Chain A
């Protein structure tokens, strides 16, 4: 992974940074690349409340905010921005306002690389709406100022329609960091983390491959 001038990561939910991309982010940080993570919501509408439940609809945002800060600390992210939108509402915001918000972050940080979701191929409506706003903000920049866009897709049709991802990072060197970041989102990952660790104990090849490989599609802007 080459050293970047600045990496900007934009996702709507606490824990989006942990699953598919925390190994990549941690590697950039180890390379000395400054990283900003802009997280649009606090995952207020999450369904996981812990088992047995240790939070409720009203306390969940506070708990997830703390989990997000913990995860960012583990990965080594120094600049965490919580943008104050509400979970499950991103697609209903004024899109122009959202694009301008993304544009102002890009103006301020001047990133050479942005990591976000691939609009239309990221399953959750918040993911698609976030990715769309990021792409549109980048499209509005003059050609020579546009950062690279490495986007995450995981819909069932993503390989059929987008082809194989053109970027694969082997993040085995920072695996412990990645697992710790996933586990930091305790309210959301408690159950799956137990299963994950059991599979890792017996060297389950699918689980290892899933954790080790982070995949991105480069988004190319026409004209």
Chain B
């Protein structure tokens, strides 16, 4: 993955707009966070291969970046995005890595299931 270049990510978001796409969306602070620090409230969520269609996708912020996808009847949102990659299957992989380099958030879009 490479650090987000907003213009490139925006072009990729445009490429997937207005068609059926598969979404992977995830936030995580790891299963061990509350084990290491008992004052820490552990939370996270993920969805894999949700079939969606968005009419408008945007990357905003000055880094780490935010991504918003406007659906016909709803929204997809992620913040803390630092890195991106278009892989060999033409899938858009976006991720946010924390200050230790650990994955904290991921948003991925593909025309075929992950």
Contacts and interface: CB of A to CB of B under 8 A. Distances in A.
Interface of A: 45-53, 56-59, 88, 123-126, 155-156, 191
B35 A155 contact: yes
Contacts, number: 60
Contacts of B1: 49, 53, 56
A155 B103 CA distance: 23
A50 B93 contact: no
Interface in B1-50: 1, 24, 26, 28, 30-32, 35, 38, 46
Given A57-B24, A58-B108, A124 B103 contact: no
Given A49-B102, A53-B83, A58 B93 contact: yes
Interface size class of B (residues with CB under 8 A): 20 to 34
Contact of A50 (B38, B91, B101, B104): B101
A57 B26 contact: yes
B78 interface: no
B106 interface: yes
A51 B106 CA distance: 17
A103 to B, nearest CB: 26
A123 B32 contact: yes
B30 A47 contact: yes
A151 to B, nearest CB: 17
A45 B93 CA distance: 15
Contacts of A58: 87, 91, 93, 108, 114
Given A88-B31, A124-B32, A57 B103 contact: yes
Give chain A's interface secondary structure class. loop
Given A56-B93, A58-B91, A123-B35, A47 B102 contact: yes
B101 A51 contact: yes
Interface string B88-114: 000101010100111110101000001
Interface of B: 1, 24, 26, 28, 30-32, 35, 38, 46, 83, 85, 87, 91, 93, 95, 97, 100-104, 106, 108, 114
A50 B100 CA distance: 10
B31 A123 contact: yes
Contacts of A124: 31-32
Contacts of B102: 47-49
A84 B113 CA distance: 18
Contacts of A46: 103
A161 to B, nearest CB: 15
Contacts of A51: 100-101
Query: Max chain B CB contacts within 10 Å: which of A46, A50, A57?
Result: A57
26 contacts: A45-B46, A47-B30, A48-B103, A49-B1, A49-B95, A49-B102, A52-B101, A53-B1, A53-B101, A56-B83, A56-B85, A56-B87, A56-B95, A57-B24, A57-B93, A57-B103, A57-B106, A57-B108, A58-B108, A88-B46, A124-B31, A124-B32, A125-B31, A156-B38, A191-B100, A191-B101
A58 B48 CA distance: 12
Contacts of A156: 35, 38
Given A47-B104, A49-B101, 15 more contacts: A45-B26, A45-B28, A46-B103, A47-B28, A48-B101, A48-B102, A49-B1, A49-B95, A51-B101, A56-B87, A57-B103, A57-B106, A58-B108, A58-B114, A156-B38
